[in-house]
Structure 1
């Protein structure tokens, strides 16, 4: 069985990162994450991330470089993240409880979905550089 890839987008504006609060499943509800979703059959990572962020957040993005290493979610599912730049649209939590802009100092204070904590040091470093 092929591995299911899940992609997540790190949207940094100035020195703030956009994070999204999960609505579901129950065991992850209320936790914060980088928004994204599953790569569909026939899609590449970038196309999937553009589609997912349009569906979930209402924004159009350009997908940039990879963020950190892949994270194994299970024996059949892998999470990978990319930096993204907003090109248009208006942010709205279509598939999340809430959206929030956070500073680097706030990253360790948030209750994160466990998989996304892998990238916190790299996110903090990118935010410190004012990466867009």
Structure 2
């Protein structure tokens, strides 16, 4: 697995010794191919940057359990099946983060931004900015899949 360095420099000293924070990330995809991006809430690192919703795994949680909990807490929806997709390690200045991306094609409930964030349904190229560094690879993966049945599953 490659390491994406968020600020474009070399990986930070002690990179191998830094504790990895596991994060479950939901890539919600509508039947028409639009995907959901949310802004980072006020007061959080990278405030105002756009990302796919999700959050940290609690001790003992699986990625899917964490994703279900986080999406209910953050945006008020209950997801159907989470389809594990890709894993990306991102070296941010504040943390070494392993992003566990899952595609989600079914959910119930209306979007409610419980943390004061904004949301936008997007297609490529995205119209919102700035985009969180850990989100950029996903946009590339979507571009690679563009036109494939997998994107519209």
Question: Is the TM-score greater than 0.5?
Answer: yes
Alignment partner for residue 50 of structure 2, among 32, 55, 68? 32
The CA distance in 1 between the partners of 2:19 and 2:50, in whole Å, is 28
Residue of structure 2 equivalent to 1:104 = 124
Residue-by-residue CA offset, 1:82-106 (whole Å, 9 max, x unaligned) = 1012321111111242011011222
The more displaced of 116-125 and 62-71 is 62-71
Q: Which has the higher strand share?
A: 1
> What are the equivalent positions in structure 2 for 1:90-129 lying under 5 Å apart?
90-106=110-126, 110-126=129-145, 128-129=147-148
Q: Which runs of 5+ in 1 are unaligned?
A: none
Show structure 1 runs of 4+ deviating over 3 A: 24-27, 73-77, 124-130
Q: Which runs of 5+ in 2 are unaligned?
A: 1-17
Residue-by-residue CA offset, 1:56-95 (whole Å, 9 max, x unaligned) = 1111112433333322345753222110123211111112
Residue of structure 2 equivalent to 1:131 = 152
1:67 aligns with 2:88: no
Shift of 1:52: 0.3
RMSD: 2.4
**Distance change in 2, residues 1:66/1:96 (3 Å):** farther
How many residues are paired up?
131
Native 8 Å contact 1:58 1:90 kept in 2: yes
Q: Which has the higher helix share?
A: 1
Structure with larger Rg: 2
The CA distance in 2 between the partners of 1:76 and 1:111, in whole Å, is 20
TM-score of the two chains, using structure 1 as the length reference: 0.83
